[in-house]
Amino acid sequence: MRGVPDELLAPGRFGQFVSVGAVGAVFDLTTSSVLTAGFGVPPEIAKLVGAEVAILVMFVVNERWTFAGHGDDDGWAILRRLLKSNVVRSGGVAVQVGVVAVLTGLPVVLEAFGVDLWELATFPIAIGCSLLLNYVLESLFTWRVTAD
């Protein structure tokens, strides 16, 4: 049995997680930006919706690629992992929403074509702030990489 540091530093896994995160970020940023710039949804609310869309997409890809072979393949086990993923990623989402709230509260205006680009710029910054937290929590609690 490998220890926690060994599993967290497993060759390639963090790179896979970051790659999946990049895909999730595209879904998150697209959803958040369209809701904010296109529909006037407050950035914090748009961030929550974008994050949930990304969580669902990333779960599917992580389940089949990054953490393939960790956990049972039956439907109930997968559903439990999906629910765990949502719970453990809530910490990352809280970090993201907090970062968006703090940054959009700053007296920064970066406007182009009637859109406040500063509001949109806070989204990728927030995603970066939660990356490591999400990796550790997903590895240890959702896919339990040290349990095998």
- Sign of the alpha-carbon torsion through 85, 86, 87, 92: positive
Least confident of 3-17, 50-64, 72-86, 120-134: 3-17
Please name every residue paired with 115 in a beta bridge, in sequence order, or none if there are none.
112
- Report CA Rg, the chain: 17
**Beta carbons of 55 and 40 less than 8 angstroms apart:** no
Q: Which amino acid is at 3?
A: G
- 147 lies in some domain: no
pLDDT in tens, 20-69: 999 999 999 999 999 999 999 999 899 889 989 999 999 999 999 988 88
- 119 lies in some domain: yes
Total domain count for the chain? 1
Classify residue 115 by its DSSP letter.
E
Percent of the chain with pLDDT strictly greater than 90:
45
- 56 lies in some domain: yes
**Whole-number pLDDT of residue 6:** 75
Domain span at residue 126?
4-142
Classify residue 111 by its DSSP letter.
E
Q: Which amino acid is at 120?
A: L
- 148 lies in some domain: no
